[in-house]
Amino acid sequence: MLSFRHSVLNFGPDSQPLNLGLSARHETWVPDIESKERFCGDQSVNTKTCNLARISGYYSPKGNSTNIPFTLRSGSSTSDLIRGYFYDDVVTTNGVSVNLRFGVGDTWDVPPFLGLGLATSREKVSSSMSYIAALVEQGKIFEPYISFYDIRNPRGTGGQIVIGGVDRKKLYGGFTYWKGIGAPGEVPTPKVKVVANDGFEELYNKFIQPKKATALISPGTPFIVVPSDVLESLRFAVPIAFPLGSSDIKNYLYTTCDGTIDPSIAIEFDLQTVVVRIPLEDLKTVAPPRVYSSIGDIVANDSNICILSISSTDDIEGYSFILGGPFLRKAPSMFLTEINSHSRAYVVMKPSESQSETITAIAIASLNATEQEIIELGGPNSPRLDEIAGNEPANSKRKKKIIIAAAAGAGGGGGFLLIILVVFFRRF
């Protein structure tokens, strides 16, 4: 779970603005201003890497160096390393300041990011405090809740992250939530099927849970990742195209950009009291993919071949599914049924050092909400999640299960087109 959105934060008493990715990891890191010449002076060597710092900006240390070496591996490659030293300094955004220990990188090969602290325990490799944990410790919020609304949607402009509470105006009905399942975002494996609403035969009618007991809701992941047999069933529903030179066809679906997948064909995820339905047509990415050869060269960039933001692997870190950004996005009105006038998944997570206190919740989210009503969570007078309810969807009869339509957009860098608001509920 790496960066899924950029946000401008101010570092130090002189408010140095840095444009950082928001990461699920516990650690935060920024590039050192001195590395601009030392590490980035020879552009023939580090051009790609230094472009990352050019976008984020550099940090000129004004805080206190701990003289503690900072080393962070952020990927599987041996080159995905960040090296430098830890610093202590103040970080400010939206008028809220917090003292934070973060890494200042001398060398790196990944984008700088703010560590929110939602990563699974297997990803927590540093003893440094996450941004959300620091907010709690310093009394800025009561408990480390974080809410996601329409994240990584390149077609939308109303995405929002709320830290310390929820935005009641963005949801309908109440929450279904799980406590003590595992890491933030881990939920019981949903049942799944591929359906056609106009009466066609169901293409994948198992609607049973795969062998692995847990799925992961991961807002920062640009794809929905499913077992290979589920993806194979989708090939019967999608007009398949084969990009020239692609070496990994079996794990992805390609289709023509100018064609249309029957809008009634969808994949459904049954999460006990909520069914999330995602039309396959809206899994089509906005921009066609670049296709790489086995040695990494671009061999095709067909303007009429689009990839769907759903992929497969039978080894997805112990999970049955990874429900990425497409699981949370809005659907165009053409995909909404009469009781689905509100069509996003609103997701809330609460990390905790104690697994028994970790919470993941999901609710129906409104389609075009513009107002805000931030409700704090965890305080002495705060409601519990199961006590919070938004308005009822129009035409809703409060059935046991409410189907909500979700939709996909571009993978890769497309999510950076979003405007995501980071809203804090302040105690003082």
Higher pLDDT, 248 or 52: 52
Reported residue count of the chain is: 428
Contact 28, 115 (CB under 8 A): yes
Q: How many CB atoms lie within 10 A of CB 374?
A: 18
How much is the pLDDT for 60? 92
Which pLDDT score, from 0 to 100, does residue 404 have? 57
Walk me through the domains of the chain, giving residue ranges and CATH numbers.
6-137 (2.40.70.10), 146-424 (2.40.70.10)
* Model pLDDT for residues 113-132, shown as the tens digit of each residue: 999 888 754 444 455 789 99
Name residue 284's beta-bridge partners. Answer: 308
Measuring CA to CA, how many Å separate 394 from each of 173, 323, 398, 427? 11, 27, 11, 35
* H or E segment and range at residue 70: strand 64-73
Please list the residues that pair with 161 across neighbouring strands. Answer: 148, 422
- What's the pLDDT at 171? 82
Taking a C-beta distance cutoff of 8 angstroms, is the pair 321, 226 a contact?
A: yes
Decide: 153 and 136 in contact? Cβ < 8 Å.
no
| Spatial separation of the C-alpha atoms in residues 215 and 169, rounded to whole Å | 28
pLDDT at site 246: 53
What is the value of pTM for the model shown?
0.80
| Residues 99-108 pLDDT 10s | 999 999 988 8
As separate numbers, helices (DSSP H) first and strands (DSSP E) second, the chain gives: 4, 27
Report whether 39 contacts 257 (CB < 8 A): no
pLDDT value at residue 157 = 56
